Amino acid sequence: MGGNEALKEVKSAKCFGGKNVRYELKSKELGCTTTFTVYYPPAAQSGKVPIIYFLAGLTCDDENFINKAGAQRTAAALGVALVCPDTSPRGLDVPGESESWDFGVGAGFYLNATQERWRNWRMYAYITEELPAALRSLPLLDVDTASVMGHSMGGHGALVLGLRNPARYRSISAFSPIAHPCAVPWGHKAFGGYLGDDRAAWKQYDATELAGEYSGPKRDILIDVGTTDPYLENQLKPDDFSEAAAGSKALEVQLRKQDGYDHSYAFISTFVDDHLRHHAKALKA
């Protein structure tokens, strides 16, 4: 573990010649012990491999994507590692943290909360700073060569993290992202609760707002949504993001509307190989 006493391997399973490994990390940002899972491709046996972060959605943890998406076969062939963090702090016993499925535990929204009650909901700082620092103690990972993808709430996270940190992530993709949280009920609930009433402060975590102002290096962004996704019109609004990005010469958005697909991992598993190839192209450029 490279001397990192805060990091502990808790289980491992061989998969497509590589292995899934789950770790526990004592997180200062989150104020608790959190988990993350890494898939190491076979190529990691002979040298460092680039990584793709996958940010999961509401109610999920670090193992949903690993266990349900079927991504390891293609990740193994491409020689890329998958890094899957949890979606919020856990075990802090904050009053009200488990009262609803779309706020609190399992619903960190990849931001840094400013309201005192939710002071440990700092998933943005955890994903962008603390987790990469911990990964540096794992000698098989090339932490400086990374991309980011996610689903739903995690698709929101991937777009926001990727747009705000273009030097850290070489490519971005999302399944069913909450693409304009300032304009939808999920975003109003999360941002109001974690960030307070100042809506100007919300915009730093809204991918549509960020796309309209983006002037960084060129990024090709792949987004898949299902046409029968029950959240598409009222909670996701990917067209808002695509239209905002069209105003930036540096963003090229491929928004694919997949006929008959929904919001589930059945949808993700169908198109995940396209996303992995999208990222591998950028990581190995």
Q: How far is 179 from 206, CA to CA, in rounded Å?
A: 7
The rounded distance, in Å, linking the Cα atoms of 161 and 168 is 9
- What tokens appear for 247 in the block? 């105003």
Determine whether 263 is an active site residue: yes
Query: Which one, of 168, 265, 254, 267, lies nearest residue 226 by Cα?
Result: 267
Of 194, 166, 163, 167, whose CA–CA distance to 177 is shortest? 163
Residue 174: which of 184, 159, 160 has the closest Cα? 159
Look up 152 and say whether it is catalytic.
yes
Cα 22–27–29 angle (5° rounding)?
135
> Which of 151, 156, 180, 263 is the catalytic position?
263
Q: Compute φ and ψ for 230, nearest 5 degrees.
A: -65, -15
Residue pair 131/36 in contact (Cβ under 8 Å)? The answer is yes
- 77 burial (CB, 10 Å; 0-12 / 13-18 / 19+) is middle
Pairing relationship of beta strands 32-40 and 49-55 according to DSSP bridges: unpaired
User: Residue 198 CB: number of other CB atoms within 10 A?
Assistant: 11
Distance, in Å, from the CA atom of 198 to the CA atom of 77, rounded to the nearest integer, reads 47
Marked catalytic residue, from 152, 171, 242, 248? 152
* Catalytic-labelled residue, pool 147, 229, 248, 275: 229
CA nearest to 272, candidates 78, 17, 131: 78
What are the angstrom distances between the C-alpha of 52 and each of 55, 120, 165, 191, 247?
10, 25, 14, 26, 27
Active site residues: 152, 229, 263
